[in-house]
Structure 1
Amino acid sequence: MSVNLSKGQKISLDKEAGGALSQVTMGLGWDSVKSKGFLGFGSKSADIDLDASCLLFDEANKPVDTVWFRQLKSRDGSVVHSGDNRTGAGDGDDEQVTVNLQQVPANVKSIVFTVNSFTGQSFAQVQNAYCRLLNAKDGKEVARFDLSVQGSHSAQIMAKLYRHNGEWKMHAIGENGTGRTFDELLPQVAQHL
């Protein structure tokens, strides 16, 4: 059974999954808000390109690697991005980042997931946005975090996976930010490391 996370909540991945997790997938999904046409006819929605990024940090909180639409795999191969979805069209996850927890290098202390509106629209134009963590082996949802709080922000720090006493934990951050790419969020991300 999946846990619906609230902002700031922390969970043990193994405990929530009912056993040791070796691979997890962070899924990101969204839809664009439909605008009403003349007299309610011809409603349409603008394409919104949200981008999931995954930032790997070491013990000194320095960036080690980044996985995003311009680099779909970490240099060590432990993190893989599904590719860029530029519209949010369709059901289910629009972008996914899979992390092989057993292959993440020992010097990586935390992995932060962010989402940015590459096209620059604010989240006021986004609906049904979420991130969810899946057991990559069986596809079962472990945790879900609703990102649909609409507003003037164009980015969000979604969640952090981190090592604590030999196990992986997850922290639902859910903090709004601004920026078309993850690098504009780095000063804000640093406050959560």
Structure 2
Amino acid sequence: MGISLTKQQTISLEKGGAGLTRVFLGLGWDVAKAGGLRGLFGGGGGSIDLDASCVVFTDVGEHVETVYFGHLTGQSGAIRHGGDNLTGAGDGDDERIFVDLSRLPAKARTLIFTVNSFRGQTFDKVANAFARVVDEVSGQEIARLNLSEQGSHTGLVMVKLVRNGSTWSLTALGDRLNGRTAAELVPALSRYL
């Protein structure tokens, strides 16, 4: 189990003096149980279509591209989306985005990972949401952020990776946004650069 991150906490992605080269961000969630009589009788289930995205920016804040369920591979293959989960069903990661840090072009300075509710369902209908960063080579979880931000928002900024020379750092964000698609979230992300 990796470090349990709190909002605004930053860690280095150096491992024993050597930087990690291949990581993935895993996102998991469940449908919140309904309260009241529906909740007592197991009602309220359904499905929630959350979408993980990776938004890439240059060092001067220029938006380079967004990797998401509609654009599964970006940055010359250095960023890959593992596919869309339309329900949140199952245990563990529901969606994954893989990043080969060593293959990213030099202009890719900041990678911001977001999640949005494609059908417009609000996060008060989501339970047990988390984002985790895993060393793809060893399978070891590096860090985890539990996303307990329930409310009337339709998006979250989960974490960001920032390049400083040849090293990368990870900052937990967990901030609320509104937007049903990754494209709708992009304009609000400049404040995280």
User: Where on the TM-score scale, by shorter chain, does this alignment land: which range?
Assistant: over 0.9
Secondary structure at the counterpart of residue 175 of structure 2: strand
Gaps of 5+ in 1: none
Name the CA distance, whole Å, in 2 between partners of 1:39 and 1:57: 43
CA–CA separation in structure 2 for the residues paired with 1:43 and 1:101: 43
Does the residue aligned with 1:35 lie in a helix, a strand or coil?
coil
Structure 1 residues 88, 27: CA separation in 2 closer, same or farther (over 3 Å shift)? same
The code of the aligned residue for 2:72 comes to L
Return closer, same or farther for 1:160/1:38 CA change in 2, 3 Å cut-off: closer
Runs of 4 or more off by more than 3 Å in structure 1? 36-39
Distance 1:39 1:147 in 2: 22
Indicate how the Cα distance of structure 1 residues 107 and 39 shifts in structure 2: closer, same or farther if over 3 A, else same.
Answer: closer
CA distance in 2, matches of 1:18, 1:155: 35
- Aligned residue type for 2:101: L
Secondary structure of 2:109 counterpart: strand
Map 1:44-59; keep pairs closer than 5 Å: 44-59=44-59
Give the whole-Å Cα distance in 2 for the aligned partners of 1:163 and 1:42.
46
Q: SS of the residue aligned with 2:156?
A: strand
- Percent of residue pairs identical: 45
AA of the residue aligned to 2:107: N
CA gap of 1:47–1:175, structure 2 versus 1, over 3 A, is: same
Q: Which moved further from structure 2: 87-96 or 60-69?
A: 60-69
Task: Assess if the C-alpha contact under 8 Å between 2:75 and 2:105 holds in 1.
Answer: no
What is the total number of aligned residue pairs between the two structures?
192
What is the Cα-based RMSD across aligned positions, in Å?
Answer: 1.6
Normalising by structure 1, what TM-score?
Answer: 0.94
Cross-structure match for 2:4? 4
1:26-37 paired onto structure 2 within 5 Å: 26-35=25-34
Q: Is the 8 Å Cα contact of residues 34 and 46 (structure 1) preserved in structure 2?
A: no
